[in-house]
Amino acid sequence: MAEDNAVTVYGSNAAITDAKKNPFSIKVGMAQMLRGGAIVEVTTVEQAKIAESAGACCVIVSDPPGEGISRMPDPALIKEIKQSISIPLIAKARVGHFVEAQILESVGVDYIDESEVLAIADEDHFINKHNFGTPFICGCRDLGEALRRVREGAAMIRTQGDLKGSGNVVETVRNVRKVMGEIRRLNNMDEDEVFAFSKQIKAPYDIVAQTKQMGRLPVVHFAAGGIVTPADAALMMQLGCDGVFLGPEVFSFADPYKRVRAIVQAVRSYNDPAVLAQASSGLEDAMAGLNLGENRVEPFGTPSTY
């Protein structure tokens, strides 16, 4: 790998190293600017303006949902939204599609999300993100996947849950807890065990060792999927995430500004139940849908004998 992948910019006492020797650290530093915020997915200029006015730290642009293959958003839409707002903008590229990433970088997006939510362009290879000056965001469902993406050059990790826009947060909670649980296991290992653990999770040893040293992922860590209430967002923050992604489903509510604003407040004050209660008040018209799959519902029948 051309760059030194050690992340040296995390923490209040760390400094960015020489950009010529370690440009990756600059991109990680740019991603850290989004810590403690909510990133809102938008499909129109109007939605982007609502997200900005509600306090979102960034918007992520996607094409309106439709039939067929999901690809990167229209560059014309990206430029129109970028001109209408003052906060950073993310755009999605398909996994492995480095030409889409080249196009997005050329139109001036602030971050690129190599998104498994879109159709996958390359089943075997991810984009070599070190070839780009724009910071990349990648998804994961466990620690090994997260650290492999960091090795490829991801400056932010997005632990992904629900992909259907159902408002069901259970899969996101499961995956975030899995990542955090694996980090806690790693923290309690001695050096010999770290070698075996890195093989087990199929991640580079040096980044696994760095994760152990830091006690967390070496890059910014957000959660995504099913987060539609202030309580959902605060839950992700209390589990150890640095921020949250909000899907386009937040715009299906009667007052999307009020809901996004409430979630932004929850992210900022996630440890204050009084603020969370106030933010959660008056958010009626909850999304319809069943939160429990059939395999998660406990069958009721003849009581067990103890």
Nearest CA among 78, 103, 80, 99 for reference residue 90:
78
Instruction: Provide φ and ψ at 249, rounded to 5°.
Output: -65, -20
Strand partners, 41: 60
207: amino acid identity, one letter = I
50: amino acid identity, one letter = I
Instruction: Provide φ and ψ at 142, rounded to 5°.
Output: -155, 175
Q: Given CA atoms 125, 161, 209, 185 in this order, what sign does their dihedral have?
A: negative
Number of other CB atoms surrounding residue 267 within 10 Å? 26
**Encoding tokens for residue 218?**
């070496």
Say which of 27, 92, 129, 212 is annotated catalytic. Answer: 92
Q: Decide: 35 and 28 in contact? Cβ < 8 Å.
A: no
How far is residue 203 from each of residues 77, 113, 151, 229, measured CA to CA in Å?
37, 21, 8, 34
No. of helices (H) and no. of strands (E), the chain: 11, 8
- 3-class state of residue 19 by DSSP: coil
Asked if 92 is an active-site residue, the reply is yes
Q: Which residues are catalytic?
A: 92
